[in-house]
Amino acid sequence: MLASLSIRDIVLIDRLDLTFEAGLSALTGETGAGKSILLGALGLACGDRADRAMVRTGAEQASAIAVFELPEGHAAFALLDEAGISFEPGEPVILRRVITADGRSRAHVNDQPASVGLLRALGDVLVEIHGQHDGRGLLDPKSHRGLLDEYAGNGAALASVAKAWERLSAARRHLDDLRARKAKSAEEEAFLTHALEELDALSPRAGEEAALAAERRFLQQAETALTDLQDAASAFAGSDALSARLGAALRGLERVRSGLGESGDAASAQGAALNALERAAGAIERALIEFDEAESALSEAASAFEVEPGALERAEERLFALRALARKHQVEVDALGPLRDELAGRLEAVGDSEGREREAEAALKAAEADYARAAGALSRARSEAGGKLARSVMAELGPLKLDKARFRVAVTPDETRAGPSGWDVIAFEVSTNPGAPFGPLERIASGGELSRFALALKVCLAGQQDGLVMVFDEVDQGVGGAVAAAVGTRLAQLAKAGQALVVTHSPQVAARADHHWKIAKDEAGGAMRTHVTLLTGQTRREEIARMLSGAEITEAARAAADELMAS
């Protein structure tokens, strides 16, 4: 509910503070008194375009503040939360807009800086203005689908379409991904095949790098080691070799020992000599044995270092090939084996892409069929509800002096615009004269007709937009008598469950209001000023009588006013 509206220095209004109540409020007054200024100020606070011409002459800036008291869970609170505007539960929502004389604009929500876009978004869920100044809600073609779905109670059907759309979107993404991968598969297959051929040709083994590196070090040292060993072996060979000299010494000892004989007292000189000869002979024999073993070991060692020609080159070639392939794939040499298995798996998967694509295509067709069934059912429900709504609106047009007009809800399926809410383009269309083509509501109807069409729609859609403040600007334009009374009756009906403001020149409409404001202007300080007065009792009676009779209020007009107010 709009609780209050404060205006400062807007056009003819220098200072104005209005407090509103629930129900129907009528704003009346002479033409040009400033009723449109009030609506313009409300629109400004709700995010309408700012114009520096709105700043009162001589003022530095103008401002409009609209205060709304809202029930718990109102859509405005979600917008505030999303925008990071802090608020306390139960506190009012305050929209403030300031325009400077040079055309700059500032916006605040609950005294916190905000964007004009946020004001506009809040205004869309708080206020609906119908008439010559704005077309929020009903007159916005973007809202028609949602309004029709609420009217038809299509919640379950919408949920079904949304789920089908989610599945369809997922199926499309999956197929697109497979096709994108397939487009690269030929290049990838060639790469994988070549990589596997390289790996299979090299056939790397775990631990092979370390073994080859050790073998390379051995082979690099083998030639030098073999030369040294051969020199050592040469030192053992020849007539003057140590073995020959030791043999000659041993034979000399044998001759001396033979000359002394086999016996002798150990304590005698002969015995001592024989004992020494025995030890010397034993030592020489052991030296000969060790010499022979050393010569044999040297021969074996030399044989071990006699490597096959080209062995070093082959070892280095394989080691370098393994390391090069590892660098190419950016892995360690020991990881080449596992890499080969991984690449083989990828190649197998690439080869199976055709089968997976066929499965994805089948899944997409199934998802498309499911979505088409859900969207088609929703479209039929919308068409049925649209016909029902059109008939209801048509029944309202006659009493509102729009009996020659026609109204329809155009439900046009368009698969190219499919989405989570279906594929229908929905528009409220009118034809105001017999034989005239249908067209968009906001373009075909004139100002007064627009308000009455909106009123008829609001009556038929009652309850679909709970919490909105409804503003009707001169909804009674060009009508009077019974038609004006019908307008007043419908406005009062709409306002019972909420709040409605109507700018009117019709006494029949004003008489049905719960609250009545008179807007007038007069000269003060050499300039015209607009002021607003809340009318009750006798003052209200006089205003309605004035509206009935004109400048001169008669007793008959007063009596007629009493009758209207009592009805």
Sign of CA dihedral 466, 469, 473, 475: positive
Element (H, E) at 467: none
Residue 460 tokens read as: 């038929």
Residue 116, pLDDT score: 92
26 touches 510 (CB < 8 A): yes
> What tens-digit pLDDT sequence spans the chain (567 residues)?
899 999 999 988 888 899 999 899 999 888 776 777 888 899 999 998 888 889 988 889 999 999 999 988 888 999 999 999 988 888 899 999 999 998 899 999 999 999 999 999 998 889 888 765 444 556 678 888 988 998 899 999 999 999 999 999 999 999 998 888 777 766 677 788 888 888 888 888 888 888 888 777 766 666 566 566 666 666 666 545 666 777 777 777 777 667 666 655 556 676 776 777 678 777 877 887 877 777 677 666 656 665 556 666 777 787 888 888 888 888 888 888 888 888 887 777 666 667 788 889 999 999 999 999 999 999 999 999 999 999 999 998 888 888 888 999 999 999 999 999 999 999 999 888 888 888 887 777 666 677 778 888 888 887 555 667 888 887 777 677 788 888 888 888 888 877 889 888 889 988 999 999 998 888 766 667 888 889 999 999 988 898 888 778 888 888 988 888 887
Domain assignment of residue 226, yes or no: yes
Domain assignment of residue 428, yes or no: no
Domain assignment of residue 46, yes or no: no
430 strand-pairing partners: 407, 439
Q: What is the separation, in whole angstroms, between the first and last Cα of the chain?
A: 26
Residue 475 CA to residue 472 CA, distance in Å, equals 6
Q: How many domains does the chain have?
A: 1
Domain assignment of residue 211, yes or no: yes
User: How many C-beta atoms surround the C-beta of residue 328 within 10 A?
Assistant: 11
Please report, for residues 45, 114, 274, 287, the alpha-carbon distance to residue 254 in angstroms, rounded to integers and kept in the order given. 136, 124, 11, 16
511 touches 544 (CB < 8 A): yes
288 touches 246 (CB < 8 A): yes
Residue 231 CA to residue 229 CA, distance in Å, equals 5
With tokens 């690439």, the residue in question is 350
Return the closest-CA partner of residue 11 out of 43, 2, 110, 458.
Answer: 43
Return the closest-CA partner of residue 466 out of 125, 7, 170.
Answer: 125
Residue 239, pLDDT score: 43
Spatial strand order in the sheet of 105-109: 13-19, 2-10, 61-68, 93-100, 105-109, 112-114
> Between helices 242-260 and 269-304, what is the axis angle to 10°?
160
Return the closest-CA partner of residue 302 out of 244, 216, 227.
Answer: 227
Residue 38, pLDDT score: 87
Full-model pTM: 0.61
Q: Which amino acid is at 227?
A: T
Reduced to 3 states (helix: H, G, I; strand: E, B; else coil), residue 512 is: coil
Note down the domain range covering 220. Answer: 187-350
Return the closest-CA partner of residue 448 out of 140, 133, 132, 138.
Answer: 132
Domain assignment of residue 286, yes or no: yes
Domain assignment of residue 95, yes or no: no
CA angle 45, 48, 51 (to 5 degrees): 95
Domain assignment of residue 548, yes or no: no
Return the closest-CA partner of residue 106 out of 162, 44, 185.
Answer: 44
Element (H, E) at 448: helix 447-460
Reduced to 3 states (helix: H, G, I; strand: E, B; else coil), residue 450 is: helix
Domain assignment of residue 455, yes or no: no
